């Protein structure tokens, strides 16, 4: 077995697959070795940098024979920046790996079978797809992304996965943070679906300095292509100019959302995902729908267009405020918003004896663990689960299967090209 003392020794490996993570997977004497920046089909030399017992982490030393699926990354920061660890893998191979990561998790973790795994939906754009980018701010007000496996900042001049409008505002974003007195740790450049409208949202560690108000007003006067500025911290928020963006989940529903509130980064991919969910749900006037983790209403409003009623549960108070405003804007009187954490709301709804025909789950990466008992008691015949983590999706679907919900079909959707992240839509039916 390779030890830490042998780290300078090079191992020759054939990379067989991509992991759900920034690694290619090879084997040496039957032991798994995971090496970043590699492609299935590569023959490489690697050194062991971390011994994990039953597997090891390697570093790429040399590509001996490049894989047919290997491509030249167009971004100059690949290898340093941790944002796009699959950019050297051609897109078709990325899609195959994401499809496999969903199938493997459902089989290994969920022990699930007898369902239909539908082909993955590709992202409409492989580059320039992010309408919002989150950048870290390092000492000296340097702006960029973290190095792979590190909190060291890689300062960037441009980002190929950012939308054109977001990318061209990087210099303006630097100019703003250089004027700030507040201790800013993250900055998001958020592009609106409304034409040529963007907002900068800075996350502050500590208090928001009063001097930043005057600086913000001067900055906006000098940069008419920036619609607004937001500074927010744990218990505080200040804004100047327009502090909301427009999100269109489907035609005719232009929702206004606070810039710092979560929205999907891939505009066209989000519309495809929403359309698939609406098609699968086949919502009608007789449906009473319960939606957990609703956010500001990305799915809620399109569902309310079709269903008899929707109860939307969301923990983020600002998202709920946005959802209520947009409900009023479109005169949706059939939406009831509940600001609460999902387990609390589920318990209260069950105790109140409420019943629903269909249910939507769209949790964060941690999933919806522990909800299954209350969900089963709420009577929904169909559950549509939108996941951004195959492992927690598999865990939660297995728990719901024990409550009588059979998995019928799963559709992976790629919203994040050049990363290992993948969305999936699953349909469960009560049997």
Is-contact 201 188, C-beta < 8 A? yes
**CATH T-level fold of 132-246:** OB fold (Dihydrolipoamide Acetyltransferase, E2P) (2.40.50)
What is the Rg, in whole angstroms, of the alpha carbon atoms belonging to the chain? 23
Q: So what's the pLDDT on residue 8?
A: 59
Domain ranges of the chain: 4-68, 95-124+266-430, 132-246
Q: How far is CA 102 from CA 11, 217, 369, 395, 425, in A?
A: 30, 47, 18, 12, 11
Range 4-68: architecture per CATH: Beta Barrel (2.40)
> Same CATH fold, 95-124+266-430 and 4-68?
no
237 burial (CB, 10 Å; 0-12 / 13-18 / 19+) is: middle
| Structure token pair of residue 9 | 């020794």
- pTM beyond cutoff 0.85: yes
Q: Which of 252, 213, 273, 301 is CA-nearest to residue 413?
A: 273
Tell me how crowded residue 8 is: count the other CB atoms within 10 A of its CB: 8
Is-contact 271 129, C-beta < 8 A? no
Q: So what's the pLDDT on residue 196?
A: 73
* Residue-level pLDDT, tens digit, the chain, 431 residues: 444 444 456 899 999 999 999 999 999 999 999 999 999 999 999 999 999 989 999 999 999 999 999 999 999 999 899 999 999 999 999 999 999 999 999 999 999 999 999 999 999 999 999 999 999 999 988 999 999 888 999 999 999 999 999 999 999 999 999 999 999 999 999 999 887 789 999 999 999 999 999 999 999 999 999 999 999 998 899 999 999 999 998 999 999 999 999 999 999 999 999 999 999 999 999 999 999 999 999 999 999 999 999 999 999 999 999 999 999 999 999 999 999 999 999 999 999 999 999 999 999 999 999 999 999 999 999 999 999 999 999 999 999 999 999 999 999 999 999 999 999 999 999 99
311 burial (CB, 10 Å; 0-12 / 13-18 / 19+) is: buried
Q: What is the 3-state secondary structure (H, E, C) of the chain?
A: CCCHHHCCCEEEEEEEEECCCCEEEEEECCEEEEEECCCCCCEEEEEEEEECCCEEEEEEEEEEECCCCECCCCCCCECCECCCCCCCECHHHHHHHHHHHHHHHHHHCCCCCCCEECCCECCCCCCCCECEEEEEEECCCEEEEEECCCCCEEECCCCCCECHHHHCCHHHHHHHHHHCCCCEEEEEEEECCCCCCEEEEEEECCCCCCCHHHHHHHHHHHCCCCCEEEEECCCCEEEEECCEEEEEEECCEEEEEECCCCCCCEHHHHHHHHHHHHHHHCCCCCCEEEEECCCCCCCHHHHHCCCCEEEEEECCHHHHHHHHHHHHHCCCCCEEEEECCHHHHHHHHHHCCCCCCEEEECCCCCCCCCCHHHHHHCCCCEEEEEECCHHHHHHHHHHHHCCCEEEEEEEEECCCCCCCCCEEEEEEEEC
Chain-centroid distance, C-alpha 98: 14
Residues 6+ away with beta carbon under 8 Å from 325: 256
**CATH T-level fold of 95-124+266-430:** Rossmann fold (3.40.50)
Strands 335-339, 309-314: pairing kind: parallel
Active centre residues (catalytic): 388
């Amino acid at each position: 077995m390779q030890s830490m003392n042998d780290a300078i020794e090079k191992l020759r490996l054939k990379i067989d697959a991509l992991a759900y993570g920034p690694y290619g997977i090879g084997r040496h004497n039957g032991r798994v070795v995971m090496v970043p920046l590699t492609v299935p089909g590569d023959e490489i030399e690697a050194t062991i940098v971390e011994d994990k017992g039953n597997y090891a982490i390697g570093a790429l030393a040399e590509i001996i024979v490049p894989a047919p699926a290997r491509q030249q990354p167009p971004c100059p920061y690949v290898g340093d920046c941790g944002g796009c660890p699959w950019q050297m893998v051609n897109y078709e191979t990325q899609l195959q790996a994401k499809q496999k990561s969903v199938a493997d998790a459902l089989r290994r973790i969920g022990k699930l079978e007898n369902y239909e795994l539908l082909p993955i939906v590709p992202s409409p754009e492989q580059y320039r797809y992010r309408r919002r980018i989150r950048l870290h701010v390092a000492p000296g007000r340097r702006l960029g992304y973290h190095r792979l496996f590190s909190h060291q900042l890689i300062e960037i001049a441009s980002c190929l996965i950012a939308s054109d409008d977001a990318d061209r505002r990087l210099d303006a974003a630097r100019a703003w943070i250089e004027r700030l007195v507040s201790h800013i740790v993250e900055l998001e450049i958020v592009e609106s679906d409304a034409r040529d409208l963007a907002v900068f949202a800075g996350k502050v560690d500590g208090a928001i300095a009063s001097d930043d108000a005057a600086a913000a007003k001067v900055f906006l006067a000098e940069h008419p292509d920036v619609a607004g500025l937001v500074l927010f911290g744990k218990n505080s928020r200040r804004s100047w100019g327009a502090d909301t963006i427009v999100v269109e989940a489907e035609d005719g529903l232009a929702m206004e959302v606070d810039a710092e509130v979560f929205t999907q980064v891939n505009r066209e991919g989000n519309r495809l995902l929403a359309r698939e969910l609406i098609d699968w749900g086949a919502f009608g006037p007789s449906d009473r729908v319960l939606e957990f983790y609703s956010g500001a209403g990305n799915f809620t409003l399109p569902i309310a267009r079709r269903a008899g009623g929707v109860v939307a549960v969301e923990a983020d108070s600002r998202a709920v405020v946005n959802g209520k405003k947009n409900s009023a804007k479109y005169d949706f009187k059939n939406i009831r918003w509940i600001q609460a954490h999902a387990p609390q709301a589920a318990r209260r709804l069950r105790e109140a004896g409420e019943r629903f025909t269909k249910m939507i789950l769209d949790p964060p990466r941690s999933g919806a663990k522990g909800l299954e008992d209350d969900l089963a008691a709420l009577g929904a015949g169909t559950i549509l689960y939108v996941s951004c983590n195959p492992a927690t999706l598999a865990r939660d679907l297995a728990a719901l299967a024990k409550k009588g919900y059979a998995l019928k079909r799963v559709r992976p959707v790629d919203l994040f090209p050049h990363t290992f992240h993948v969305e999936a839509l699953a349909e469960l039916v009560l049997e």
